[in-house]
Structure formats: C-alpha cells, structure tokens
C-alpha cells in the first residue's frame, strides 16, 4: 500500500519513528512515542517541511497516512480544518502572527483526533514570538501537535527545543535522488543524473533544475565566471552578473504572485467601493501587503544569491577533486576540460582558499550584508591567486 511517507527520499530512519508515533497516537494514551512538539531539521531543500506535512497527514488520516483519502489530500493542499501550515516568506515571524495563530488553534480539533500546526522556518521566530509559542507548547492536555522546521537545532530557541523531540533529515544519496526523478517525475536518465549530481542531494532543487531550462542556463553562466577573472574590472563585472542573474531568477517567481495577491485583497475589500471607511481600510491593507511583499522579495533575492554562490563553490570543489586525482567524482563533469585548464594555472592551495572565501561571503550575506558589495569583495578575492 502506498503511503505519504513514500516521498521522503533517503529518510528511512525517520519514517520508522514517525510511523511508531502515528500508531501510538491512536491508542489515546500519552505514550513516549507520541509527543506534542517536534523539530525537523535539515538544510533548505532537504525536505524537512515535506516530512512534517507527511507526518501531519498521517496523524489525521483514518488509514495512518494513505495519501489517497480526502483527509490526506486536503491536509496537503491546505484545505483541512485541523492542519495548518505556516509558511513565512518574510524575514521574521512576529509575535502578533503567533498570537493570532494561537487563537485560531485554541479550539479542539474539528474532525480528526489532532490539530496539527506545521511551521516552516521556525528559525525565523523573533524572540517574543518564540516565547508566545513556548507557552502554547507547554500547555498540558491539548490536542494540538506542533511540527517545527529549522535548518539546525541551534536555530531554535533553547527553551523551545528542549521541549521538542528532534528529528534530523539526512541528505539522500545522489543515486536515490536520480531514481526518484526518473521513476516519479519521469525525467530522462541523463537529465535526472545531471540534476541530482549538481544539486547534491537536494531533491527540490534537483527537480527545479530539471524542469527549468532558464535556470540551467543561468547556472552555466555562473560556473563560467571563475574562468573570466583576468582583471579587477572583470571581477567587478562578474559580481554584477551573479547578482543580476540571482535577482532576475528571484523576481521571475514573485512578480505575478504579488499582483494576484493585491488584486485578491482589493476584491476582499470590494474593489471600487466608495464608502469612506472602506476605501481607507483597503488602502491601509494594500500598503501593509506591499510592505510584506517587499521584505519577501528581499529574502528571495538573498536566497537566490546564496544558491548561486553554492553553485560557484562547486567549481572550486571540482578543481580540488581534479588536483587530488579524483576526476571521476566531479560535480560538474561536463566542465572537465575547463577545470583541468584552470587547475594548471593556479597553485594547489588556492582552490581551498577560494572556497572558504565563498563560504565567508555567504555568511556575511546571511547577516544582511549588502549583496553587490559582498559579491564584489568576493570576486576580487577569487581573481587573486
Ligand atoms: Zn489518508
């Protein structure tokens, strides 16, 4: 029989625990297997929120997560009254949002035995928001299950994480990702192999790459940048190129959505309504939404630059592999010739230094450094030997 857990590639260790918890949750007793708060950790793209949503489905499904029934399907698409998935695209989750959430979930579950809240990006909770949430998690006897997702356990406030059961996602093997892309998503073996290899076990990123021609060609441009750093002027140009590509990729996905959101909001307020109170209310709401969209766009661009820098790092990683005589394990095996020629021009330790320069730039960007200046400084370092 198929199950909602089938899609969690390479997470067998976790699936056993989750199935045990679902089984225990049916007995009604408060057993050790079933607890009210869980943290799923793994890097973005590792499928931590897919794991949490699958668990939510299994908890409310009469067949322990068949994936086919009404309950399972409405939970996955956000239509189930007892399952709430909190997706934050802003830079932080504020205390007002948590308070509002808490009033929404204060009621007993309406259909299922549990009310489940999946919170993607629990690392974005502000401290006061986290404290408000903590009170809810500590409350005994509720039928609400909290599934928090974060990159690492350290990204969750200690007081919260000490009350949660922790599950760590593993990075699936490239082979496992390739197989999923072929069997489930019906990509050709060549495409599946390429996408799985260059996205290093991130199934979401692999699927995105395999689906989007423009994303693949952008990636190619990024990987050519190390070969074009002959002068300082070229380094500045390369930084600009990277930021432009990342910005374009990020805005391509948000623009149409932003417009739709505003339109929907105006409709909700009655578009063209002339009543004075109505008009100011709508204007205020639209203004707030635009502010949120702006902060979301900033984050998208940052995430996109981060992705481009990770791609860039794979070039230097491959140079190191080639130097170590392990050419068969190149990520960018289609660039074998370029990597070889680059390798012969620079001393052996330089690729290591360049990789750590990239990681440093990513860290600075994560702490809100200005993107273009950060990339310019980076490429100037990459241009040097
Ligand atoms: Zn089901």
Whole-number Å distance, alpha carbon 62 to ligand 1 midpoint, is 6
**pLDDT tops 90 at residue 267:** no
Contacts of 355 (CB under 8 A, 6+ apart): 313, 316, 317, 320
pLDDT of residue 31: 60
**pLDDT tops 60 at residue 276:** no
For residues 174 and 200, the answer to whether their CB atoms sit within 8 Å is: yes
pLDDT of residue 277: 56
Which of the 8 DSSP states describes residue 328? G
For residues 114 and 59, the answer to whether their CB atoms sit within 8 Å is: yes
pLDDT in tens, 130-182: 999 998 888 876 789 999 999 899 989 898 999 999 999 988 888 989 998 99
Whole-number Å distance, alpha carbon 61 to ligand 1 midpoint, is 4
- Region 330-355 average pLDDT: 87
Whole-number Å distance, alpha carbon 2 to ligand 1 midpoint, is 10
More confident residue, 45 or 228: 228
**pLDDT tops 60 at residue 275:** no
pLDDT of residue 284: 79
Whole-number Å distance, alpha carbon 96 to ligand 1 midpoint, is 33
**pLDDT tops 90 at residue 7:** no
pLDDT of residue 295: 77
Whole-number Å distance, alpha carbon 58 to ligand 1 midpoint, is 7
pLDDT of residue 225: 96
For residues 243 and 372, the answer to whether their CB atoms sit within 8 Å is: yes
How would residue 347 be classed by pLDDT, with cut points 50, 70 and 90?
confident
For residues 125 and 98, the answer to whether their CB atoms sit within 8 Å is: yes
pLDDT of residue 84: 92
pLDDT of residue 268: 67
pLDDT in tens, 88-146: 767 788 899 999 999 888 888 887 788 999 998 898 899 999 999 998 888 876 789 99
pLDDT of residue 234: 96
* Residues of the chain by 3-state class (helix, strand, coil), percent to 5: 65, 5, 30
pLDDT in tens, 175-219: 989 998 999 889 999 999 999 999 887 888 888 899 999 989 999
- Region 284-301 average pLDDT: 80
Closest CA to 337 of 320, 322, 316, 352: 322
pLDDT of residue 223: 95
pLDDT of residue 5: 92
Residue 40 pairs in a beta bridge with 149, 167
The CA-based dihedral angle spanning residues 72, 76, 78, 80, taken in that order and rounded to the nearest 10 degrees: 10
Helix or strand holding residue 362 (H, E): helix 350-366
pLDDT of residue 25: 86
pLDDT of residue 283: 79
For residues 139 and 14, the answer to whether their CB atoms sit within 8 Å is: no
Closest CA to 125 of 103, 104, 146: 146
Cα of 80 vs its chain's centroid, Å: 23
Whole-number Å distance, alpha carbon 64 to ligand 1 midpoint, is 6
Strands across the sheet containing 144-150: 83-86, 115-119, 144-150, 37-41, 165-168
| 3 state DSSP class of 223 | helix
pLDDT of residue 256: 64
**pLDDT tops 70 at residue 358:** yes
Quickly count: other Cβ atoms within 10 Å of residue 256's Cβ.
Answer: 9
**What is the spatial distance between Cα 250 and Cα 247, in angstroms, rounded to a whole number?**
5
Whole-number Å distance, alpha carbon 7 to ligand 1 midpoint, is 14
The pTM (predicted TM-score) of the whole model is 0.69
pLDDT of residue 139: 81
- Greatest Cα pair distance, the chain, in angstroms, is 74
pLDDT of residue 44: 67
Helix or strand holding residue 130 (H, E): helix 127-138
Both tokens of 23, joined, read: 């089984």
pLDDT of residue 380: 96
pLDDT in tens, 10-37: 898 899 999 999 998 887 655 667 888 9
Whole-number Å distance, alpha carbon 252 to ligand 1 midpoint, is 35
Answer positive or negative: Cα dihedral of 57, 60, 64, 69.
Answer: negative
Give the percent of the chain with pLDDT over 70.
92
Whole-number Å distance, alpha carbon 141 to ligand 1 midpoint, is 25
Give phi and psi for 94, each to the nearest 5.
-95, 160
How would residue 57 be classed by pLDDT, with cut points 50, 70 and 90?
very high
Average pLDDT, the chain: 87
Whole-number Å distance, alpha carbon 77 to ligand 1 midpoint, is 13
């Amino acid at each position: 029989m198929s199950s909602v857990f089938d899609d969690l590639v390479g997470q067998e260790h976790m699936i056993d625990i989750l199935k045990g918890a679902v089984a225990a949750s049916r007995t009604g007793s408060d057993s050790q297997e079933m607890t009210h708060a869980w943290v799923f950790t793994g890097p973005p793209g590792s499928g931590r929120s897919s794991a949490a949503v699958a668990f939510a489905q299994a908890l409310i499904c009469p067949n322990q997560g068949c994936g086919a029934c009404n309950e399972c399907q409405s939970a996955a698409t956000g239509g189930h009254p007892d399952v709430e998935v909190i997706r934050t695209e802003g830079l932080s989750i504020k205390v007002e949002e948590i308070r509002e959430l808490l009033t929404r979930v204060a009621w007993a579950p309406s259909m299922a035995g549990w009310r489940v809240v999946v919170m993607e990006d629990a690392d974005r909770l502000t401290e006061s928001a986290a404290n408000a949430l903590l009170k809810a998690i500590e409350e005994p006897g509720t039928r609400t299950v909290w599934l928090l997702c974060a990159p690492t356990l350290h990204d969750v406030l200690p007081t919260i994480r000490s009350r949660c059961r922790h599950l760590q996602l593993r990075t699936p093997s490239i082979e496992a990702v390739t197989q999923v892309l072929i069997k489930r998503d019906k990509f050709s073996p060549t495409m599946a192999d390429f996408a799985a290899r260059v996205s290093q076990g991130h199934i979401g990123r692999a699927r995105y790459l395999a689906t989007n021609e423009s994303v693949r060609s952008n990636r190619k441009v990024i990987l050519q940048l190390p070969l074009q750093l002959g002068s300082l002027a070229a380094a500045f140009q390369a930084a600009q190129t990277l930021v432009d590509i990342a910005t374009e990729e990020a805005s391509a996905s948000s623009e149409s959505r932003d417009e739709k959101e505003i339109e929907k909001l105006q409709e909700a307020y009655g578009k063209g309504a002339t009543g004075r109170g109505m008009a100011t209310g709508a204007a205020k709401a639209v203004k707030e939404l635009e502010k949120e969209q702006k902060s979301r766009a900033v984050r998208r661009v940052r995430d996109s630059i981060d992705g481009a820098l990770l791609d860039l790092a794979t070039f230097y990683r491959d140079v190191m592999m080639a130097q170590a005589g392990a050419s068969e394990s190149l990520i960018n095996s289609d660039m074998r010739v370029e990597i070889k020629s680059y390798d012969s021009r620079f001393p052996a330790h330089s690729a290591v230094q360049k990789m750590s320069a990239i990681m440093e730039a990513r860290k600075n960007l994560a702490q809100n450094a200005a993107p273009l200046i950060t990339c310019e400084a980076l490429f100037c370092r990459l241009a040097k030997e």
